A and B are shown apart, each in its own frame.
Chain A
Amino acid sequence: VEKLDIPQGTLDLMILTILAREPMHGYGVSQRLATLSHDQFQVNPGSLFPSLYRLEQDGKLKGEWRSTENNRRAKYYRLTASGRRQLEQHQERWKRVSFAISSVLEGA
């Protein structure tokens, strides 16, 4: 099945949403994204890591090295307070956008 392209500007929102539940490493985020989207979305590492690094630099995420369940080291990202605020704002905004779009589509 052909995967969907991730709509522009929504990757950050999805990353923040996933990490709001629990801290996770990059691979975990990509797996969780695939699962949660019923395999419709598959994020390319070439897009995921730049987003993670950018969010970390902006202070929305904090990365720290920890051991995985398989005793490997991986960089886990968790939401900061500022990241949580951004998530709430973006979620609110996204709900309005998607409500507006479906209203238009159904009204047409």
Chain B
Amino acid sequence: MTLLHRLASILDWLFHRNRAEQDLNDELEAFVHMAAADRVRDDASATEARRSAVLHLGDVEQTKERVRSGCYGAWLDEVGQDVHYGLRTLRRAPAFAGAALLVLAISIGATTVMFTVINSVLLRPLAYPEPERLFTLHGATEKLGEFWGFSNPDLADVRHESRSLAIGAWAYGGGTISAPGAPEYVDGRQISAELFSVLGIPVLHGRTFQPDDDRPGAPAVAIISYGVWQRRYGGALAAIGQPLVFDGRPYTVVGIAPEGFELTGDVDICTPLGQNTATRMQNREARFIHSATCRF
């Protein structure tokens, strides 16, 4: 009840302040009149009575101030005054104000960046099912320390030796899609056949790569992103099986990746890693495979 009264009086203060001031003035004026009238009855002259009554009322401004500061809304005024005072002070010392603003801006920015990184790297779970079972393999040698990348022969050995891991892999492989539609440079990935199932996500339409796709000489197939599907095929289901020219080679679209699919960045097209015939595929020192992604 009391809380409601206080809220009401704060609102009252905000919206009817002038009337409240007027009320207070009238009330104090009435006080003086009544005090003066009593003194006239005590045989003083009218002027004398009023003078005495005003004296009795004392410092009017101080009284008003004490009434006002007792009002629950009054702190709003005080906050307002403090803010005004603060702004005036800042305007008087622009160099100091600028420096203070700069320090604040930089620290807020730095904190935000720190939080964003920590949030996405450490706090937020991976956007895949059962993310706690996912990890990536890194190689290391005594001479050179840890590598972020993985070479294809190393990957083959790990696959051969492993009994309990499903191992997928991908490497960067951007290029130009020149048909259908206008040529466009896109972000691409060369992925192993297992990658989608290791990550635990299905394609939106069509199929993922099969082990048969993932070897040299197999028919060239591609999985395209939701965005490419929309832009170049109008989102038609008939896109599956359609031809696509990527980096001058003809491919057949076999699958559409789910909307928002990424692998450390945007992905517009995926091609089978195993169809890569570059010599570095056989080079144990060429650690171009960005991630050996495992699920146990």
Contact = CB atoms under 8 A, between A and B. Distances in A.
A45 B57 contact: yes
A11 to B, nearest CB: 13
Contacts of A50: 63, 66-67, 69-70
B26 A75 contact: yes
Given A45-B56, A57-B5, A59-B2, A27 B70 contact: no
Contact of A57 (B30, B34, B72): B72
B27 interface: yes
A46 to B, nearest CB: 4
B31 interface: yes
Contacts of B24: 49, 53
Nearest to A59: B5
A8 B66 CA distance: 17
B28 A58 contact: no
A82 interface: yes
B63 A72 contact: no
A74 B34 contact: yes
A58 B2 contact: yes
A68 B1 contact: no
B6 interface: yes
Contact of B62 (A46, A53, A70): A46
Contacts of A58: 2, 5-6
B5 A45 contact: no
Contacts, number: 75
B2 A27 contact: no
Contacts of B1: 59, 82
Most buried by B among A26, A28, A50: A50
Interface in B17-47: 23-24, 26-28, 30-31, 33-35, 37-38
B30 A53 contact: no
B157 interface: no
B71 interface: yes
A73 interface: yes
Interface in A29-45: 31, 44-45
B9 A27 contact: no
A53 B56 CA distance: 20
Interface of B: 1-2, 4-6, 9, 23-24, 26-28, 30-31, 33-35, 37-38, 56-59, 62-63, 66-67, 69-72
8 contacts: A27-B31, A45-B57, A45-B63, A50-B70, A58-B6, A59-B4, A65-B23, A70-B34
Interface of A: 25-28, 31, 44-47, 49-50, 53-54, 57-59, 65, 68, 70, 72-75, 82
Q: Which 6 A-B pairs give the minimum distances between C-beta atoms? A: A59-B5, A27-B34, A57-B9, A46-B63, A74-B30, A50-B66
